[in-house]
Structure 1
Amino acid sequence: MINNKHLAVIICLLTTSLFFAQQKTSLKLKEAINLAIEKSNEVVLANTKVATKKLELQSVKNNLYPSLKASGQYYRLTNASVDQKNKSTGSSSIPTASPKVNQLMLAQINASLPIFSGFKLRNSIEIADNMYKAENALAENTKEEIAVKVVEFYAELYRAQKSIELLNENLKKSNQRATDFKALEENGIIARNDLLKAQLQIAKVQLSLDEASKNVNIINYELITLLKLPSETQLFVDESEFKNFEMINIPKDESTALLFRKDLEAVRIQEKASENNIKLAKGSYYPNLSLVAGYTALSLQNVVTVKNAINFGLGVSYDFSSIFKNNTEVKIAKNKALEIRQNENLLTDKIKIDVKNAVENYNLALKQNLVYAQAVEQTSENYRIVKDKYDNGLSDTNDLLEADVEDLNAKINQSYTKANIVEKYYQLLSVSGQLTQTINASKN
């Protein structure tokens, strides 16, 4: 049997383990952003696409090198008839027996170096290079999107955690009020209806608390999944993340976004690639020229043996049907270029609207912060006055509970605005294409 001393040690160990298992992790916002940029699936996929485009570019460049091919054939011949026609100096011709031919061996080495192909090779390389640059820009844009996603998660998590903190404080106060009301009701000082109202208030606060706890669990899980942290990690957002926050590079209009947005940069680079694609299509109107060289060895059994048959020269090819067919390909390339320009116009308009919304939302958050700060002072003072009146019998329970709810809501709203300002600031940087740039600059 376990004695009391051993039992105490076991309980102590279990309690300590439970404490550390439930201990929350504080991770700074900028650290979380850098972690997401490094490990998130979206960024990993974007980087993989960049690597693929780089390999495709190298593959196209490889076409600059000459091609060298070697081939060999061995044929077994069956009853081959070989007619040898020999010229003789005499007036008579002596018939010769037909040689026995059972096999044919052929070996070839061919080399080819393109010297002109209607500028197709050069344009193909420029297309691949531009697509590689565009993919790089899209990868940077993905990092911007992931960064602002982390910011939004952090703001949501802070709001939910702050709600729990304030609701717990209010729940304690509501429980104490219900305890006091119960004593008063038992002594016949207040009606039972007032006690029920106080108890109903506890239920409402508890429901809000449960909702906030659920939100914390969901947001925390989404965030740690994005950051690739262990599933048991419980993140805690320190309030210092939203206090005395230094805000720099605050855009005022869309000019910054049109200069720094990576998705817009990607479209502009794709437009360059589309122009090269038009030139590539037009290249089919020209002939292809190449330097060619080769070596051939041939052996026809008992008939002929050829060795050291080296050849070199100039190869020319031209598809005359391209004069008629290629016109459609050129039109297709031009239409695709037009589509990209139209997409650029659409994206430009969207960026302008996004920046306008972000600027207005940021300014609104600043104004709301001032209003809610005043509201907290007003609701706190109002609750104090109503409480004094209630204690002196000059106010009823409804007024007291209503003042308490207003005070709680004002405090929650004020705590929200701190996170809202930082969130709207980062969203403004994001739509202007400066979020990751600002984060990296602040680290130095």
Structure 2
Amino acid sequence: MYYLKRLFFLFFLLEISPKLLGQQVITITIDEALQLAIKNHAQLKVTKQQVIINEQEKEITKLNQLPIINTSIKASYLGDVDLFDGTFSKVMTQEIPHFGNSLEIQASQLIYKGGIVKNSIEAQELKIDLTKLSLENDEQTIKKTVLDYFLNNLRLENQIKIFNNNIELANQRLANVTQFYNQGITTRNEVLRAELLVKNLEQTLLSLKNNKAIIDYNLSILLNFPKESIFTLDTSNQEWDLLKEKDYYIKMAFLKHPSLLKLEKQLLLSDKQIEIIKSEKYPTIALFAGFNSQRPITTRVPALDLYANAWQTGISISYNIDNLYKTKEKQQLGVFQKQQLEYTNTVLTQNIEMSVNSAYLKYFEAIKQAEIIYSSLKLAEENYKISLAKFLNQLIIQTEMIDASNTKLEIELSLNNAEINIISQYYNLIYTTGTL
């Protein structure tokens, strides 16, 4: 459409002076800005580390598939044995070998526990998927934050240009009023009024420059650039036309939004946790084997200074009887928690659909608003030219000239905001689908 083409052209002509001492001007496209945002943002490093932690926890859980092996080695000094009769009177002291040592090895292998090991491993895999989706969600949020910074930066760049231009025009009018005053055509009050207008414009310009400096500083931190950097957004080769119908973006959100995908994984994890709880109702069956070597043999008198070696192997079955009445309540809690997630999924799906619908309509509203304001600007510019011609010919007083100037300035600022809003609403729509 015509207006969007004009918008692209206006942004292509945007310039920021790079002559600030010691400062580096960085021109960057929106796509480059978004890539840098997810590459350098500190918050993402935290979430990525959590992915690594969950992957390691999975490896630890997998170790439960391996046998448990315990070993014990002891060396001791054994004292002589005192023997007493039934009245605790000492009968004799029996000497025994004083050096004692033992070696014990025990091994066991779980072979059945209601599938608890398998389900625990699968639960850890789901937790890894959840963390990765949290990472995607964080990336979306960070991209949106950085994009808003850049669009505000672009808005301020345009406003600075607009105010510089209006200050130049105001200085020209001040020169004209001063000339009229020197010629005795107007009063000193008119000169003061013109000077005050220039000062007001300069005051606002100072605030705009400071606001831009704040955003530049914040972006330098977020994107890991030198803190003296000045950012300018290159939008010359960007297009913001929506080529699809609203239903396309709603379906895209349902398929790809990280929050919905995360909730789906949470539901699967809830099922796994219920299965893990159910496994408590089953007995624990394990194979075991052991070996024991001990010296001296003290099970007889006198003790023998010999090694007694013994081994064993078999199968063990254990069961916690209290699980018969505890597991049911735990399982019911898991069911309630899953139902809560299902209700949350319904609410989230509705909210995302409403957000996409709102963003879609706001995008086209932004285009229409900009077109209306552009038409108003043409009228304001024509009114300004007519008022300026009348003012120079002393057909109107300066108050009317200032009104025309202020009207033109106000509409120029509104148009700048409207142009930026088109870009903002376009990316906001993409953000609501979770695919920014």
TM-score range, shorter chain: 0.7 to 0.9
The answer to whether the 8 A contact 2:97-2:305 is kept is: no
1:124 aligned onto 2:99: no
1:284 maps to amino acid: E
Q: Deviations over 1:103-132 (max 9, x none)?
A: 442211111111101211111111111111
1:330 aligned onto 2:331: yes
Q: Distance in 1 between matches of 2:45 and 2:146?
A: 16
The answer to whether the 8 A contact 2:82-2:93 is kept is: no
Matches for 1:156-305 after TM superposition, within 5 Å: 156-238=152-234, 240=236, 244-245=239-240, 251-252=246-247, 254-300=250-296, 302-303=303-304, 305=306
Q: Deviations over 1:359-415 (max 9, x none)?
A: 222122111121122122111111112222223333221221111111122222222
1:71 maps to amino acid: S
1:26 aligned onto 2:24: no
Q: Deviations over 1:158-186 (max 9, x none)?
A: 00111111101111111121122112112
TM-score (norm 2): 0.87
TM-score (norm 1): 0.85
Distance 1:50 1:172, change over 3 A: same
1:344 aligned onto 2:340: no
Q: Distance in 1 between matches of 2:245 and 2:138?
A: 21
Distance 1:285 1:216, change over 3 A: same
Q: Distance in 1 between matches of 2:234 and 2:162?
A: 15
Q: Where in structure 1 are there 5+ consecutive unaligned residues?
A: 1-16, 84-95, 436-444
* Pairwise CA RMSD: 2.4
Q: Distance in 2 between matches of 1:292 and 1:200?
A: 95
Q: Distance in 1 between matches of 2:245 and 2:145?
A: 19
User: Tell me, what secondary structure is at the counterpart of 1:188?
Assistant: coil
What is the CA distance between 1:308 and its match in structure 2?
4.9
Distance 1:184 1:256, change over 3 A: same
2:77 maps to amino acid: R
Name 1:353's counterpart in structure 2.
354
Name 2:392's counterpart in structure 1.
391
What is the CA distance between 1:47 and its match in structure 2?
0.9
Name 2:407's counterpart in structure 1.
406
Name 1:60's counterpart in structure 2.
61
What is the CA distance between 1:240 and its match in structure 2?
2.2
2:158 maps to amino acid: K
1:348 maps to amino acid: T
Q: Deviations over 1:177-231 (max 9, x none)?
A: 1122112112211122322221221122112211211210111112111111111
What is the CA distance between 1:245 and its match in structure 2?
4.6
Q: Percent identity, please.
A: 24
What is the CA distance between 1:306 and its match in structure 2?
4.4
User: Tell me, what secondary structure is at the counterpart of 2:161?
Assistant: helix
1:427 aligned onto 2:423: no
The answer to whether the 8 A contact 2:80-2:93 is kept is: no
